[in-house]
Amino acid sequence: MQYTPLDMTALTNKYDMVGPDTAMWLVQEMVEEYCFCRHLEPIDLLRVGVQVLVPKVESDEIFALFFPIYRRGITAAAWTRHFYNTQAPKGIPWRYHSQSGVMLYDIALPTSGAVPGTTLILVEGVADAIRLNKLGWRTVALGGKHLTALGKAELIAMPNTHALIMLDRDALVQAIDLMAKVAAIKRKVGLVLMPQDGSANDPSELADATLQECLREAVR
């Protein structure tokens, strides 16, 4: 597959890009809160290349987090998570940036590669992927509840023969549908069930012990 470097012109015209650890104190506090709710730390974002986008012109938007998607040594795409003034109407929180279709979000840095034979976890959001990888589970994010054409091509190219689907708590129907599609690509496919007690909607919101228990139950 051919990948084109992400054109950053539109973003750099609108935002200044800084590290999460060098942003102004209000932004750092909001980043810490975002991480805390997902059992992450700001250092976890730094490790996967996340940057803070600060608007050059004052607006209802306070800042955005830039999550790069690396392919073959280049930044080929990115997700941005936007944070707005609490008194202002809410804008679109997540946006995708690419010259091609929606690809899988993979935290692997340009020099990293997938390990054949390991189980691959498919989740919805980038924070879920970062969290599960931190716990030692090879994970990629779909960027939603469905597998795109480009995402399918990338999944086919990955050497992992086993896959587990772990979507958000409200997406059981979509997870079952996704299982059927992935079963045509991978030798063994399973489903990780989120607890239905209402304690969390996203995998990243689960406590470590609960999340590990859900995953280990699924691979038995």
The DSSP annotation for 119-147 comes to EEEEESSHHHHHHHHHTT--EEE-SSSS-
Question: What pLDDT does 90 receive?
Answer: 65
What's the count of helices (H) and strands (E) in the chain, helices before strands? Answer: 7, 10
Q: Degrees (nearest 5) of the Cα angle 162, 112, 216?
A: 35
What pLDDT is stored for residue 162 in this prediction?
92
Query: Is residue 29 over pLDDT 90?
Result: yes
Q: Is the pLDDT of residue 112 over 90?
A: no
Across-strand partners of 97?
78
Grouping H, G, I as helix, E, B as strand and the rest as coil, residue 20 is: coil
Per residue in 35-93, pLDDT tens? 999 999 999 999 999 999 999 998 889 999 999 999 988 999 999 999 998 765 666 79
CA dist 35 and 20 (Å) reads 11
**How would you classify the pairing of strands 61-71 and 119-123?**
unpaired
Q: Is the pTM of this model over 0.85?
A: yes
d(CA 41, CA 32): 7
Q: Write out the two tokens for 120.
A: 């691959």
Q: Residue 166: pLDDT above 90? A: yes
In the chain, CATH 3.40.1360.10 sits at 105-219
Q: Under CATH, which number does the domain 105-219 receive?
A: 3.40.1360.10
